[in-house]
């Protein structure tokens, strides 16, 4: 009899294009707190105070202090075996794709091939990129980016602690973290990229998310509706477990290296 772990490994081995949805649980073993576990990220703050546009309007200093602390935590964290396994998987697939002759359509043009791996992450810590993953869609933004509240310019800003309060070098207005807060919509370009990845993949992986925040939470369900197998890796059951083809209960850092 095939064990769930073997079944997951076989699904991964045979999939040409894999879409991976990750949440805070994949970074837990790197020492970054999750949101909803006991003692989680919101521990000492209300979500309204630090993760809503209204909270920022009322007390931008508190919000910047909160995100400076997030930057510090992300800076000292290293990718764990789960991040590294996904990066290795992508590198292996890209290497294999380079060695294959390019398929052409009837007009001699190369077919657009789906990406071998697309990571849709709800995390803002940059650890997938740090591990070496190249095709990462940051659904909820990044702690390493700032956005001007007036001109909207987005820039990478890597000093660990920004001055409280930071201002735009182009127009002088207050900068805010480039993070999607509660009550805000995801960037339309990001949404499009995510939808394409969900549609084009032939396997969907869900790792370390409680799957309660939309639209990310709906992606595994959309994948299932399109007939794609879904593998879930989580240390406990979630709403996705009921529809998953294979549900692996345990730590992402232990399971991922085994199935990829």
Per the listing, tokens 């894999």 go with: 18
Q: How far apart are CA 235 and CA 256, in angstroms?
A: 12
H or E element that contains 8:
helix 4-14
Least Å distance between CB 124 and ligand OAD? 7
236 binds ligand OAD (CB under 6 A): yes
Instruction: Yes or no: say if 40 and 208 are a contact pair by the CB < 8 Å rule.
Output: no
Catalytic status, residue 140: yes
The residue from 140, 158, 178, 226 that is catalytic is 140
Number of residues that bind ligand OAD (CB under 6 A): 25
Which phi-psi region, left, alpha or beta, contains residue 231 (left: φ > 0; alpha: ψ -120 to 50)? Answer: beta
Q: How far apart are CA 141 and CA 82, in angstroms?
A: 21
Q: By C-beta, is 116 or 255 nearer to ligand OAD?
A: 255
Residue of 182, 231, 183, 177 whose CA lies nearest to 208: 231
User: Which residue in 204, 210, 228, 244 binds ligand OAD (CB under 6 A)?
Assistant: 210
73 binds ligand OAD (CB under 6 A): no
Q: Which two structure tokens, joined as six digits, stand for 109?
A: 């043009």
23 binds ligand OAD (CB under 6 A): yes
SS3 133: coil
Regarding beta strands 141-148 and 154-156, do their DSSP bridges make them parallel or antiparallel, or are they unpaired?
antiparallel
Q: By C-beta, is 75 or 235 nearer to ligand OAD?
A: 235
> For ligand OAD, which stretch binds (CB under 6 A), given 12-20, 29-37, 130-138, 195-203?
29-37
Q: Give the x-and-dash track for 111-150 against ligand OAD (CB under 6 A).
A: -----------x-----------------x----------
Where along the sequence are the contacts to ligand OAD (CB under 6 A)? Answer: 23-25, 28-29, 34-37, 40, 51, 122, 140, 180, 208-210, 213, 233-236, 238, 251-252
Which positions are annotated as active-site residues? 140
């Amino acid at each position: 009899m095939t064990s769930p772990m073997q079944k997951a490994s076989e699904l991964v081995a045979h999939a040409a294009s894999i879409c991976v949805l990750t949440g805070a649980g994949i970074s837990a073993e790197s020492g970054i707190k999750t949101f909803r576990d006991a003692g989680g990220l919101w521990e000492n703050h209300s979500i309204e105070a630090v993760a809503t546009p209204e909270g920022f309007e009322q007390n931008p200093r508190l919000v910047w202090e909160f995100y400076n602390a997030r930057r510090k935590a992300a800076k000292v964290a290293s990718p764990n075996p789960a991040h590294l396994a996904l990066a290795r998987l992508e590198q292996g697939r890209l290497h294999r794709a380079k060695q294959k002759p390019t398929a052409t359509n009837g007009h001699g043009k190369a077919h657009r091939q789906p990406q071998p791996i697309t990571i849709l992450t709800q995390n803002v810590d940059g650890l997938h990129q740090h591990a070496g993953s190249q095709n990462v869609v940051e659904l909820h933004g990044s702690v390493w980016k700032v956005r001007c509240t007036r001109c909207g310019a987005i820039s990478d800003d890597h000093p660990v602690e920004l001055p409280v309060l930071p201002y735009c070098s182009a127009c002088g207005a207050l900068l805010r973290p480039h993070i999607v807060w509660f009550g805000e919509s995801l960037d339309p370009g990001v949404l499009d990229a995510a939808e394409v990845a969900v549609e084009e993949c032939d396997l969907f992986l869900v790792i370390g998310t409680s799957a309660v925040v939309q639209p990310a939470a709906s992606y595994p369900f959309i994948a299932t509706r399109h007939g794609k197998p879904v593998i879930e890796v989580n240390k406990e059951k979630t709403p996705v477990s009921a529809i998953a083809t294979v549900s692996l209960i345990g730590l992402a850092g232990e399971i991922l290296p085994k199935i990829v």
